[in-house]
Amino acid sequence: ASERGSIPFADSLRDLISNENELDVYTKFFPRGLAPRCVYHQKTGALDPLPETDEQLSELGYLFLLEAVDTDVYCQPSPLTVPQIHKSLSLLARFHATTFGDAPKLTEAASLLHKNGSYWSLDKRSPEFKDVEDCWTTFRSKFLPLYPFLEDEADLGARISAVASQVAAELSATPSSPGACVVHGDAKSLNMFLPKDESSPLPGFLIDFQWSGLGYPALDVAMHITHSLPAEAFEDGGEMKLVRHYFEELKGQGCDVDWKVFERQYHLGVIDFGRAVLTIFWRSASPDEFLRKAGNSNVTYANRNADAAMAFVGRIKRSLDKIF
């Protein structure tokens, strides 16, 4: 591909399309009270038709100015504590409820936003998909000396690869799909401002809607808890307690959601995000690399902490066993 600086042309174009997506969220789907207002935006150039050269790409640009968030009151922590994850899941539920099951809104969203909300959906990441099994073989070999249980997991990459297309198809929603909504698409904790006071009734704020689009709420939940929590949060049934907490919060917003359907979509979301983490991030992972990234809160916790990564491996396996 042509390159713009050190960034491949295709990646730069994908990012600019995501900027256009964020502009549409702020101007047409703004979740009032759940995100800082965009007080000014400016767009240079147009994406229709799509640029085909570096020169055309360089003519495009986006500027967003958001209202300030009081950093004496709010923070962007990672990893999250139990009170913080309860708060963040409640925030996600309120966001999802703004479009949940609203066919007219979702029809408009389908015409403007990403067809499949999330930066990792298979339609956006198909080039990496062919490497699933090789990525797992490499990752497993680097961590096996520290985690002997991986000896019995040689086929995990093949299992993910075998079902990835089916998983993506099941997670692809339409405006008329029961339980569909606009998902955030990158619900990491760094894209949330949560109250510093964990007992505060303030709900917090979401930012960064570049990858928002149609989907199912459980997809955001699967990504969010993976990105934001240490391994011990998933012990002793902790994972499904958190999933159930979100589910009850969504129901509390007046959304008609069925637990069995939601639970299946959650496990599909774990498998789907697992495919993405494996092929996008873990292809170059190692214990030393995790140590170098340990303090970077913008990185998925399962991509900078070895125990969290192993917890994610276990969750992917359990989700595969549950669904397939």
Contacts for 242 with CB less than 8 Å, ≥ 6 apart? 85, 89, 225, 233
Mean pLDDT in residue range 9-38: 89
- Res. 5 pLDDT band, cuts 50 70 90: low
Residues 168/268, Cβ–Cβ less than 8 Å? no
Q: Cα–Cα distance between 191 and 184 in angstroms, integer?
A: 10
Q: Cα–Cα distance between 301 and 294 in angstroms, integer?
A: 8
pLDDT of 89 above 80: yes
pLDDT at 2: 40
More confident residue, 172 or 59: 172
Secondary structure class of 115 (helix, strand, coil): coil
Number of CB atoms found within 10 A of residue 282's CB? 25
pLDDT at 52: 86
Tokens 């922590």 locate to 77
User: How large is the greatest C-alpha to C-alpha distance in the chain, in angstroms?
Assistant: 55
Instruction: Render pLDDT for 176-207 as a digit per residue (tens, 0 to 9).
Output: 999 999 999 999 999 999 999 999 999 899 99
Instruction: Render pLDDT for 48-65 as a digit per residue (tens, 0 to 9).
Output: 888 888 888 888 889 999
- Res. 3 pLDDT band, cuts 50 70 90: very low
Strand-pair partners of 103: none
Tell me the whole-structure pTM to 2 decimals: 0.94
